[in-house]
Amino acid sequence: MIVVMRWDATDEDVRGVERRLAELGFTAHISRGRERTVVGAIGDRPPDPDAMGLESLPGVERVMLVQHSFKLASRDFRAEPSRVRVGDVVFGGDEVVVIAGPCAVESREQILETAAAVRAAGARMLRGGAFKPRTSPYSFQGLEEEGLKLLAEARERTGLPVVTEVMSPEAVPLVAAYADMLQIGARNMQNFPLLRAVGRVGRPVMLKRGPSATIEEWLQAAEYILAAGNDQVVLCERGIRTFETATRNTLDLNAVPVLKEWTHLPVVVDPSHGTGKWRWVKPMALAAVAAGADALIVEVHPQPSRALSDGSQSLTPKNFEDLMREAAAVARAVGRRLGLPAAADARGAGAVAR
């Protein structure tokens, strides 16, 4: 249920609605838009607006039941697109944000070299796994806290905010101490204790779609984070499991316009995991920008053939630079922008003109 406040409602009017909802056993979530403030009511029992007396309170315009299973993530609760901030980086605005880096932090030399290369090409954030959930127990599992320390050093040297995966509720405080954004990996999309834990911590969250999850199930997972008090959530499409074997996953770009209609949360696309082959990463990244994605997350490694994980889907720094120039051109064509160093942007504009 949501309570839509009048355009001239005061802060005291909003507090009055919060108090009444608390009396009725509901938790209030406030969304302040440009024209209206909306109060979302979350509780364990079905709401009965007619019996609550909410519409008689000062400043209330109307009370609506939300039909979706996801409440706080829906466009009913917030009509305007959300802006999620990670330092100076904003997801959901005019800029298409690009996050880049290796699948896993392998060494100090590797992460520092990659961070410098992706920053020079125009990336706005650095990715890298310190804790690696792997299908095989014998595969490289990550450097753990040492990897987090190396990511923090890379941030200090380049100025790029860091996003990295957290795998358990117990690890949230440790990872949050180093990372600027917490990633919930595809395998943990429905790890509900973990979702609640990142909902209680003051860090933005990137929630990856599970390999067999519907869009509605994905949004219900986001609802756990939002309901726990953290409204800084972005959704990451990284491909789903289908009968197709030519690619690692099937990158569901249908999800981008669907999410734009159903939810106010920003949308990220991961063409690296979506394809599993480096030579298909660029075309799918360009398609994602054209489809309306707010950000891309791309795997980059200085020597993909020697990568300890996901080398087959990792771009070299040179290939990443090429991707950035072409993605900037697509972003301009659809009325967005993608930040590039001045020299690279000039080369890209010249290529488009020719």
H-helix or E-strand containing 62? strand 60-64
Residue type present at position 100: A
CB 117 within 8 A of CB 320: yes
What pLDDT does residue 247 have?
97
- Distance CA(23)–CA(27), nearest Å, equals 10
What pLDDT does residue 351 have?
39
What pLDDT does residue 66 have?
75
CB 36 within 8 A of CB 5: yes
CA distances from 292 to 203, 268, 269, 326, 332 (A): 25, 10, 10, 15, 12
What pLDDT does residue 140 have?
66
Total residues found in the chain within this entry: 354
What pLDDT does residue 73 have?
95
- Residue spans of the domains in the chain: they are 2-64, 84-353
What pLDDT does residue 199 have?
97
Any alpha helices (H) in 228-267, and if so which ranges?
255-262
Q: Which CATH architecture is the domain 84-353 placed in?
A: Alpha-Beta Barrel (3.20)
Residue type present at position 324: M
3-class DSSP state of 29: strand
Beta bridge partners of 337: 95
Is 291 exposed, middle or buried, given 0-12, 13-18 or 19+ CB atoms closer than 10 A?
middle
Other CB atoms within 10 A of residue 142 CB: 25
Rounded average pLDDT per 10-residue block, the chain, 354 residues: 88 92 88 83 73 87 82 90 96 97 96 98 97 71 89 98 97 97 97 98 96 97 96 98 96 98 97 98 98 98 95 98 97 93 48 35
Is 236 exposed, middle or buried, given 0-12, 13-18 or 19+ CB atoms closer than 10 A?
buried
Q: CATH top-level class for 2-64?
A: alpha beta
Other CB atoms within 10 A of residue 92 CB: 19
